[in-house]
Structure 1
């Protein structure tokens, strides 16, 4: 039998349909996509920041990547990779992008709060990430309520 919607299995799995997110569209789903794109930009900046630390940009002699502790190196490489992967997934508004971003954000909060010897404790990072997670949950719930049953 043929699919009455006309969409094949590949089209049903596509994470974003451009026609669904027109700039003139109002509603919570549109605001969720806007939030995801802003979060993607921030994740991209954060990932590039960590890669600059790995590559030694701006480091004084003797303070480069190889001079840091193993825990600092491990955390920096982890965040350099996961933030850039999350940025791609968030920009596509793919469900896996939000999962990767939430994993990286919660991990950064844990590192900041429970392992301050790695990066030090920066309360602004913790508060900012908690606020972004809260905003994501708000937009996701509101967009889900807007969808027909």
Structure 2
């Protein structure tokens, strides 16, 4: 292909495409942090109510073990900007939203986690839409 055939505008990244990997990396850092808090619960490092695996109710054992594995896995995928990273993060977010919004009598009421997951999901959708519309050819 000749140089005349390459559109300079197609080669430039727009703001959404440039910011999207950094957004994913910020979410990755938070995912790793959330994963570590679940690992702290599992190994009993922090002395408090429901902070040791052997003293947790079964529903907390299942949730903690699952999220302790999935959150770091999602964080790695998001950091690498792999296509499976947001999918695993979505599973973690659905799990926590179900826990803290769907069953607050069992897991407690933590509305900030629910709001944070909703905000991250909305920002992700906004980024994907902005990238999609910026890549579409202009209609004449």
How does the TM-score come out when normalised to structure 1? Answer: 0.77
Which residue in 2 is equivalent to 1:18? none
Q: 1:116 deviation in Å?
A: 1.6
* Higher RCO, 1 vs 2 (CA within 8 Å, ≥6 residues apart): 1
Q: Structure 1 residue runs of 4+, over 6 Å off?
A: none
User: Where do 1:131-146 residues align within 5 Å?
Assistant: 131-146=119-134
In structure 1, distance between residues paired with 2:128 and 2:14 = 15
Structure 1: tracts of 5 or more residues without a match: 5-24
Q: 1:52 aligns with which of 40, 53, 64?
A: 40
* Number of matched pairs: 126
In structure 2, distance between residues paired with 1:41 and 1:97 = 12
Q: Higher helix fraction: Structure 1 or Structure 2?
A: 2
Structure 2: tracts of 5 or more residues without a match: 2-12
Which residue in 2 is equivalent to 1:119? 107
Change in 2 beyond 3 A, CA 1:62/1:100 = closer
> 3-state SS of the aligned residue for 2:88?
helix
Which residue in 2 is equivalent to 1:13? none
Which residue in 2 is equivalent to 1:68? 56
How does the TM-score come out when normalised to structure 2? Answer: 0.82
